[in-house]
Chain A
Amino acid sequence: MVAQGIPEIGSYIAFLFVSTVALVIILRLFVSPRDPRPTPQKKKPFESGQIAAGPGRTRFIIQYYPYLLMFVVYDVIAMFLFAWGLNLRALGASGSLPVLVFMAVLLIPLGYALHLANHRENW
């Protein structure tokens, strides 16, 4: 777990962030024009010419949230699998046994989820 290379990527990201924000600020202050007489329609949300009716943030797509829950859990599982896969040559078959059991146990809820998905059209 060596933190090699982290200072470089940290300073790189910091440099990028500062330069991008600076660029946007400079553009906003100096380059982009200001409108002295904006019309009332100018800042309204754009809906292909229609007048926007109703709030902009209503409930749209919420029926897929079980996928979101599964995604969170399997993302954690990916972390352990990566730790295993790294050392595969050194561990061999005997060392991989815990991970194989790990994966087998976690395939069961996946099968259940897909069984549910097949029996309901909304997913």
Chain B
Amino acid sequence: MTDLLFLAFAAVTIGAAILAIEARDLVYGAAALGIAFLGVAGLFFLLDAAYVGWFQIAVYIGAVVVLILFTVMLVGPKKGETPLGLKRVSLLAAMLVSLLLGMTGALANATAFPGPDSCGSGCDLSLFSTSLLKNYGVPLEFMSLVMAAAVIGALALSKTDRGQ
């Protein structure tokens, strides 16, 4: 049963991702991206990570897809215009992507990233919360710096756009 669900969610994710790239109308592409994120959320639920799954839905579909939709709707190509054709760099891109996938596959080993708390099936939310703050406190601070930089960068970009 779990295998069937996994295949279903994986098929939805990959299918929607292909649709997102190949769609003529970019709004359909963005909506397909939302479906792909829904498939990823389903995979999170299968991995018993309900917390991450729900926030995947809330943040990715609720915020990122909406941002993409807004951009596409307002400043995207009109219906009928084709998006940019990038035939020449596509070969280089394909090589880079396969290299990346190969590296990821080699690293996707159960012992690749040993963490201080591999709790198996006894995980629960309070353990997740405690380990996040106690064991991963420093990465948390780095992440806050990255996010602060992202926000300040976005605001600065919007400032220079106006030429002021």
Binding site for B on A (CB under 8 A): 1-4, 6, 10, 57, 59-60, 62, 65-66, 68-73, 75-77, 79-80, 82-84, 86-87, 90-91, 95-99, 101-102, 105-106, 108-110, 112-113, 116, 120
Contact = CB atoms under 8 A, between A and B. Distances in A.
A87 B51 CA distance: 14
Given A6-B45, A57-B73, A109-B155, A1 B123 contact: yes
B3 to A, nearest CB: 16
9 contacts: A4-B50, A68-B70, A69-B155, A71-B63, A73-B147, A80-B140, A84-B132, A109-B155, A120-B162
Contacts of A84: 129, 132-133
Given A3-B50, A66-B155, A84-B133, A59 B74 contact: yes
A109 B74 CA distance: 27
Contacts of B132: 80, 83-84
Given A1-B128, A73-B150, A102-B141, A79 B55 contact: yes
Interface in B139-164: 140-141, 143-145, 147-148, 150-152, 154-155, 158-159, 162, 164
A86 B126 contact: yes
A95 B140 CA distance: 13
B64 A106 contact: no
User: From DSSP, what is the main secondary structure of chain A's interface residues?
Assistant: helix
A69 B59 CA distance: 12
B154 A70 contact: yes
Contact of A87 (B129, B143, B150, B159): B129
Nearest to B151: A109
Q: Sort A-B residue pairs by CB-CB distance and give the 6 closest, nearest first.
A: A98-B137, A87-B129, A109-B151, A69-B154, A105-B144, A72-B63
A37 B74 CA distance: 36
Interface residues of B, number: 47
B22 interface: no
A75 B66 CA distance: 13
Contacts of B159: 116
A110 B154 CA distance: 12
Contacts of A2: 48, 50, 123-125
Contact of B141 (A69, A96, A101): A101
B62 interface: yes
Contacts of A106: 144, 147-148, 151
B50 A6 contact: yes
